[in-house]
Amino acid sequence: LAVLHVHQSFACLLQTNIQSDCRWYSVSHLSVKERIEKKRKAAQMGGGQKRIDAQHQRGKLTARERVELLLDPESFVETDMFVEHRCSDFGMEQDANKFPGDSVVTGRGRINGRLVYVFSQDFTVFGGSLSGAHAQKICKIMDQALTVGAPVIGLNDSGGARIQEGVESLAGYADIFLVHPSDLPHHGSLCILTHLMLCLQDTSYLFITGPDVVKSVTNEDVTQEELGGAKTHTAVSGVAHRAFENDVEALLYLRDFFNFLPLSNQDPAPIRECQDPSDRLVKSLDTVVPFESTKAYDMLDIIHAIVDEGDFFEIMPTYAKNIVVGFARMNGRTVGIVGNQPKVASGCLDINSSVKGARFVRFCDAFNIPIITFVDVPGFLPGTAQEYGGIIRHGAKLLFAFAEATVPKITIITRKAYGGAYDVMSSKHLRGDMNYAWPTAEVAVMGAKGAVQIIFRGKENQAEAEAEYVEKFANPFPAAVRGFVDDIIEPATTRKRICRDLEVLASKKQVNPWKKHANIPL
Amino acid sequence: MSMFQKTKTARYSSCRSCAVTSRTPYSTVPSEKTFDKILIANRGEIACRVIKTCKKMGIQTVAVHSDVDSNAVHVKMADEAVCVGPAPTSKSYLNMDAIMDAIRLTGAQAVHPGYGFLSENKDFAKRLAAVGVTFIGPDTHAIQAMGDKIESKLIAKAAKVNTIPGFDGVVKTAEDAVKIAQQIGYPVMIKASAGGGGKGMRIAWNDEETREGFRFSSQEAASSFGDDRLLIEKYIDNPRHIEIQVLADKHGNVLWLNERECSIQRRNQKVVEEAPSMFLDADTRRVMGEQAVQLAKAVKYSSAGTVEFLVDSKKNFYFLEMNTRLQVEHPVTECITGLDLVEQMIRIAKGYQLQQKQEDIPINGWAIESRVYAEDPFKSFGLPSIGRLSQYQEPLKLSHVRVDSGIEEGSDINIYYDPMISKLVTYGATRAEALARMEDALDNYVIRGVTHNIPLLREIITHPRFVSGDISTNFLPEVYPEGFKGHHLDEDRCRELLASAAALHVTSQLYSHKILGTQRVSSAPMDQNNWELCVELGQELHDIEISKSGNSYIVKVDGGQVEVCGDWNLASPLLPLTINGTCRMLQCLSKESSGNIVLQYMGTLFKVRVLSKLTAKLNSYMPEKVSEDTSSILRSPMPGTVVAMSVKPGDTVADGQEICVIEAMKMQNSLTAVKQAKVKSVHCQPGETVGEGDLLVELE
């Protein structure tokens, strides 16, 4: 399994850190010192220059280069540089097959000054394969991250389990991927490894079993790229959250992205200094919703215009594109944004978009990030494919996620808010803190045409009835008179409103009734 | 009746640019009673322009609009608005029945047609007259006489106006066209008899081009004017386009309001205009003015009109045509004469006499107009682009700037209408002053969401040939024979750009550290003051050392040193910097985590990538993205409709051979092969709508 493929080598800074500590020397001091030097040097070189060159030739960086790029200059503090694998079978016990640090680089450092733990698998050592020692190193920094409440970033570049070690390496997998992630959130640490997965175009592959095994078991012909390439996982399977062109780009984006997140679920979402005026009027929003309610527009136009500096980090931009999710800032505060995308499938909710949205909402709630929801949803996608696929179950996930979230929730209905989908999209009924409607909002059970066809089935004068339905329900008033929206606002003032509300809601405290864990309809 | 939707809107804020704010206050006679309500049968900037004057004169206004224009600025500005049909102009702004209904519905007493659309349509003027509604323009006789290229020349000749040698007659077939062209002698110009401006106008240098020109012009003529008659005449090489504005009342008084020079054109459409012209001396100006007046008198002209001349290098001038309407470029004349032409048109239409005498018409200073278009100037000096103006700021904070526009932030530029964003006018006591202000204004103009031609405009107005007045209608192809490539950075400017990008990058990196509040794990202070960076511009990498003190950066780049100071507001689209003591306005269009920055500098967009030295080194291991071989695929350069497909799979095409024709914004564009090859596949059919970048044809 691989998560964020990233890589790296010339971190020589550490060599100087340790030398001054050698006060315990005796007669053998020189030789031990030499041995230390030698081991450190070897650790820096991973699998050796030849393999480093090969890695570069593949357009990939080494484990150490990746760490150096990810972290602030001179901030990396390495642990377990001397750890070696313990396998004694198949000639692995020979000195030539031992590499100080084994196939992973671990330690901590800072990104834009903020603490982070990091492990980076070293493909130049046994193809980055996971040995018992490798797993142990990772678990060590995860434990430490847990005790101080800091996130862990894993830069994965591994061929898989180290076959020579057999079951010991599998136990290592269990340690990393099963035990730790499940208890991390409860103990107050953020692990990007499990919360968000980034991958690389053309060089990242991720699958349970490779093409050869697939062929032999199911007789299916499939390439590595088709089976588990970046495109597959970001557009079809929804396993990965975003793909990047190469190592350098991914790491640079990761540094910026890291700034949106709190260090742990015990910390508030970060606030960055903001140069974008919080009371900025966004005039372009007054005309963004087209005159005809059947015409599409781009929800991203609204999001980019409203958030600080137009800076929106979209998560899963190529998967279930009928819903848009991602992070941004409002007056410096990190917020999670969820929006229906009218440009794709009219912005309807289907299985994939519900799950995508639900996962994101829970991420925000887990890490104290306020959620802003832009609603333009004509309903759930009808049809057998959706029903057989369990749209009721999956749609309920999004409802559940919004309902259970206790972070500040602000909702803006830009246009359609129809039927059950309206309820689901962070409505007042799901404890929305501030719910606004634009003058173009239509909060109703369904579109006028459909409604009239049902109410007046087989009767004449449907056009007239439709006009009446539009007059009665295709506007924000029915919801506003009942208090289901708190106000009808001029679109241009939306940014100003949200910024003001977030200030007030910063002290929001809401506790869900105690339970061992919530029972989201999985 | 159901298609009419009457909306009362009064939301328009008065802070926008307007003619009224220009230097010389227009003379308004308060006691004069003109009309209570005027309908403006147009859209966009000209509709807004007319409404402004109406407001000033206390006249109620009615806007008409197509359904996609329901939210348009002119609709918001007007007191009343009536929807006259769907988006295509033939069904809305040219839909006379609907517009006549709108007039009846609103009780408008007069109609201002603006330019284009129905402005020179005699049938429309007749229909208005039949119901007793005043047409704000000349009477139908003048429209008809001047609207026809052939008849207008005969009248001009009779009025002793210099005319171009050429063939005056209707051309029926391509072979007739060739015969006529040969008689006149090449080069010849072919255009639609009924068309105005540059539309439907082609220049042919040989028989083959004559045939092609005939085909194109007649098609365009048919689609734009419903009249496929053509005119062929001698083409004057190296001409300047200089026109005289005239103003005539219904009592036989005619004034000439000096000239406008409109020589900077692309595909025979004006791009930059100015008044007065550097080329004319007082005598030539007077003779041209007097001939224009003679022509106006000959057709009993009333209202504002323009007599266009071609002027050769010896200051011989030839009558080209008379436009019986308000011209697009009228603001430059208003700037130097102090007259409000729209106001005068309204007064004249009501029957008032002109208040001025010829000797009252001044030339006060100099005015320049740049037509800002939503188009890509890197493709044939401007192919239309469409999109939504996600950010839009006119440079109105600067003095002596007038912007006539009909769009605002959030407006859509679509394929149905002219892609003009605005007319940017600057003026000053001298031409140099007006030009300097234009440069500033272009740098301060923020347009996001559509590709625009500001890069080209800025290059034109700063080009030594333009500055010295050495121009002709061939200016663009002569100055940019290989096509427009954007601003060429000299060594100093290049250093300035690199230094600015580096400083912006460092500012933004420092900004990333500014997490406020009490973080449980406190941030390490960023006390670094020196950075080593590597900036990529084009294909080249530049090593940069940069150090910071306060708001200023000292940047060592390519053996030179540059000091960059600024406020460094990363949320603002404008980036005012002081570079080595000189004020420069840059714009930051995008700044990505990957280090990619797009900056507008000297009007042109430059893409740079700023990386730390270490990152740049590691980046060198990254595989280069292989770009698509574009010689064997033909993509649509703009959104539009496929009107003709000249090839089918299996055909062999020669280099330069036409493959298909795309029509966008009423312009037909012929797409040609760039190499000899066999056609592999065709991906579109005539009639199909295509987007920019859509695959049309693949070659082998």
> How far apart, in whole angstroms, are the C-alpha atoms of residue B621 and residue A55?
9
Does the annotation mark B325 as catalytic?
yes
Q: CB under 8 Å, gap of 24 or more: what pairs does B537-540 form?
A: B537/B494, B537/B497, B537/B498, B537/B501, B537/B606, B537/B607, B537/B608
Longest distance between any two alpha carbons in chain A, whole Å? 106
| Predicted pLDDT of residue B316 | 85
Neighbour count for residue B177 (Cβ, 10 Å): 25
Q: Is A490 on the interface with B (CB under 8 A)?
A: no
Beta bridge partners of A339: A324, A374
Q: Which positions in chain B touch A245 (Cβ < 8 Å)?
A: 622, 625
Report the chain B residue with the minimal C-alpha distance to residue A71: B615
Q: In this predicted structure, what is the pLDDT of residue B11?
A: 37
On chain A, the residues whose CB falls within 8 A of the CB of B551 are none
Q: Supply the pTM of this predicted model.
A: 0.83
| Partners of residue B516 in chain A, C-beta under 8 Å | 271-273, 332
Min Cα distance A166 → chain B (Å) is 35
pLDDT above 70 (res A32): yes
Of A186-190, A514-518, B237-241, which one has max mean pLDDT? Answer: A514-518
- The Cα A142–Cα B103 span in angstroms is 77
Instruction: Compute how many other C-beta atoms are within 10 angstroms of the C-beta atom of residue A426.
Output: 31
Residue B593 and residue B606: Cα distance in Å, rounded? 17
Phi then psi for residue B512, to 5 deg, are -60, -20
More reliable by pLDDT, A9 or B532: B532
Tokens of A220: 């299916």
Q: Is the pLDDT of residue A322 over 70?
A: yes
Residue A388 φ/ψ, nearest 5 degrees? -65, -30
Mean pLDDT for A29-56 is 87
- pLDDT mean over A368-379: 96
pLDDT of residue B525: 59
* B594 inside 8 A of chain A by CB: yes
Query: B211, B325, B347, B371: which one is catalytic?
Result: B325
Pairwise CA distance, residues B105 & B83, whole Å: 12
Q: Tell me the one-letter amino acid at B597.
A: I
Q: Is B389 on the interface with A (CB under 8 A)?
A: yes
pLDDT tens per residue across span A197-207? 777 766 667 77
Q: Write the CB contacts of B481 (distance below 8 Å, at least 6 apart in sequence).
A: none
The answer to whether the Cβ–Cβ distance between A285 and B410 falls below 8 Å is: yes
Output phi, psi for A194, to 5 deg.
Answer: -105, -20
As given in the structure block, the two tokens for residue B418 are 């002219």
- Please report the pLDDT score of residue B391 as a whole number: 94
| Residue A3 pLDDT exceeds 60 | no
Q: With an 8 Å Cβ cutoff, is A343 touching chain B?
A: no
pLDDT band at A168 (very low <50, low <70, confident <90, very high): low
CA distance A322 to A351: 11
Which positions in chain B touch A327 (Cβ < 8 Å)? Answer: none
Other Cβ atoms within 10 Å of A413 Cβ, number: 28
**Model confidence pLDDT, tens digit, residues B648-660:** 888 888 777 778 8
Chains A, B: CB pairs < 8 Å: 125
> What pLDDT band is residue A177 in, cutting at 50, 70 and 90?
very low
Give the pLDDT confidence of A442-493 residue by residue, as tens digits.
998 888 877 888 888 877 788 888 888 888 888 899 999 999 999 999 999 9
Please identify every stretch of chain B with a pLDDT value under 50, giving residue numbers as ranges: 1-26
Cis ω before B276 (30° cut-off from 0): yes
- A59–B623 C-beta distance less than 8 A: yes
The ipTM, to two decimals, is 0.86
Q: Is B625 on the interface with A (CB under 8 A)?
A: yes
Closest CA in chain A for residue B72: A287
Looking only at Cα atoms, what is the longest distance across chain B?
A: 91
CB proximity under 8 Å: A 38-67 to B: 56, 59-61, 65
Taking CB atoms and an 8 Å cutoff, what residues of chain A touch B410?
283-288
Is the per-residue pLDDT at A517 higher than 80?
A: yes
By residue count, chain A amounts to 522
Q: Which of residues 62-81 of A touch B (CB under 8 A)?
A: 65, 68-69, 72-73, 75
Percent of chain A with pLDDT over 70: 86
Here the tokens at position B183 are: 């008689």
Tokens of B155: 């009248």
Contact B67 A292 (CB under 8 A): yes
Chain B residues within 8 A of A288 when measuring between CB atoms: 388, 410
pLDDT value at residue B226: 64
Residue B517 has what pLDDT? 65
Q: Distance between CA atoms of B643 and B524, rounded to whole angstroms? A: 64
Q: Calculate Rg over the CA atoms of chain A.
A: 27
Is residue B595 within 8 angstroms of chain A, CB to CB? yes
Give alpha helix (H) positions in B92-139.
96-106, 122-130
pLDDT value at residue A192:
38
Q: Does the beta-carbon distance from B571 to A266 stay under 8 Å?
A: no
